[in-house]
Chain A
């Protein structure tokens, strides 16, 4: 089966849950900016959570499939299209997503996953390196992407054409004014105080590598003699201009600027859905709290996933 891109939308790329094992040679993690939305989008169509899907930014694509397909749209929400639920697409029907009305990054999963080749163990696009995903680039109009086969959901499109959806209570607390929980590095002394006590605004300098914030000017100690160390998604770097940058999925692997905070894993989806002009506050948490939250999130996702698998299995038995 093929997915044809009729209109590419904005910075639409193929992403899975990212690359591991190559950060030591400078290869960024990449992967979905909002991994929770991607995992749910995949679970809803019976895929493994790590299957490759489309990620779009602020403006969704228009697309169609060469055969009947089971899809889901999660993350940013677009007018006229139901999110967070499986959708049955008959061959040749056009799905037109248009501008997002809520959130910033949306995901379109399809049963079977987008079947692009693995590069360094992942199907994620890394735009700066020009590799992964579909030809290492953002999608263009008229691209045709191969879709894999998912045996589990092959004959279930009929059954999935019901109107159930994910209970929004399980979703991260998305919004345009959010509280982002972060850990404070032990060496981020008083200079980092304003980071945890002020409101910050997302600037138009936001991409898959990082989000630049504006707010009170931070004055970290001079970084001249700082020896570069590893950074990762979630690291809040403070360059000499005093405006913090939260590193995201395509972050470089090492950096030489002081760190003011580090956003915890469970709240990175909230950052991924912020648009320029949206505001946030950082709230300090401990590593134990961060891990507890991550475990609870994972537990909830596992229960949901089990329920979905059960639904697929039950329907199949019922149908046969």
Chain B
């Protein structure tokens, strides 16, 4: 565990050196604790895989005698100490929720696979030496963790893709990937919340919006969430609400 500056207005907290469930739990717990404390001057918290980056105002409203970097490091260290103290409980709760079939512990996302919605399903099946149906059932059986959100607003990087489906990105990226497209990029799967250029293999599309700007919680997914996909038909896709 290390703390280091990212320039003069953020602190990067590194909580592990691999992409795994335990590191993700630490990341999620630190974000939750910092959000609970709501220290003035901390303006953004960005979790990504093994790190949490805390952005701060150099000159916060309401002056404090503490130098800004030291102040934010202290707040982070206090949050980490709390998590360390509660770690056995956090581990147990995490295990229980990962085994639970409770709908609240997993975000279920409808996907219409193949056809015009997933133009690369064929290519993924060919690369993985599977049938299209096998690709769909392996993809929709998996449970995925949201390890990072970025690339574009609301884009979730989902870990936990079966090695049977690992497929390299397209050699030439598409200039326009429609919003809602579900793709595979190497060892990860993800969803494009906005229409944008993109190089992932597109296997399907979801009618469920991932970003709703007018909502209090604009993103459907947050780092640490668990995700599962389920297949819908093109008819269901077009009438989904």
Contact = CB atoms under 8 A, between A and B. Distances in A.
Interface in A235-272: 235, 252-255, 259, 262-265
A232 B11 CA distance: 11
19 contacts: A20-B55, A21-B44, A22-B44, A24-B222, A25-B154, A26-B150, A26-B151, A29-B44, A120-B213, A128-B152, A227-B51, A230-B10, A252-B152, A254-B148, A265-B7, A265-B58, A291-B67, A294-B58, A295-B58
A228 B148 CA distance: 9
Nearest to A229: B51
A16 B151 CA distance: 23
Interface of A: 20-29, 119-120, 128-131, 183, 185-186, 227-232, 234-235, 252-255, 259, 262-265, 287-288, 290-291, 294-295, 298
B58 A291 contact: yes
B46 A295 contact: no
Nearest to B19: A227
Interface string B20-42: 00000000000100000000000
Nearest to A261: B7
Nearest to B31: A24
Give the interface residue-count category, chain B: 35 or more
Contact of B51 (A29, A183, A230, A290): A230
Given A230-B6, A262-B7, A291-B67, A23 B44 contact: yes
Given A230-B46, A235-B7, 15 more contacts: A20-B55, A21-B44, A23-B44, A23-B46, A24-B149, A26-B149, A26-B155, A26-B219, A120-B213, A130-B194, A228-B150, A229-B12, A255-B150, A291-B8, A295-B59
Nearest to B9: A265
Contacts of B90: none
Interface in B46-63: 46-51, 53, 55, 58-59
Contacts of B12: 229-230
A24 B45 contact: yes
A203 B43 CA distance: 32
B137 interface: no
Nearest to B197: A128
B69 A294 contact: no
Contacts of B148: 228, 254
B5 interface: yes
Contacts of A120: 213, 218
Contacts of A291: 8, 58, 67-69
Contacts of B67: 288, 291
A241 B31 CA distance: 34
Contact of A24 (B19, B196, B213, B223): B223
Interface in B142-158: 148-155, 157
B46 A253 contact: yes
Interface in B127-177: 148-155, 157
B4 interface: yes
Nearest to B57: A20
A183 B7 contact: yes
B146 to A, nearest CB: 10
B80 to A, nearest CB: 17
A264 B49 CA distance: 26
A227 B46 CA distance: 14
Nearest to A285: B8
A229 B157 CA distance: 12
A135 to B, nearest CB: 13
Contacts of B196: 128
A27 to B, nearest CB: 5
B8 A183 contact: yes
Given A228-B48, A254-B46, A25 B149 contact: yes
A254 to B, nearest CB: 3
B9 A230 contact: no
A294 B43 CA distance: 17
A128 B69 CA distance: 32
Contacts of A29: 44
Contacts of B222: 24-25
A235 B6 contact: yes
Nearest to A290: B8
Given A23-B44, A24-B222, A26-B152, A232 B8 contact: no
Nearest to B52: A230
Contact of B43 (A20, A185, A231): A20
Interface string B216-227: 001100110000
Contact of A186 (B4, B45, B153, B157): B4
B153 A27 contact: yes
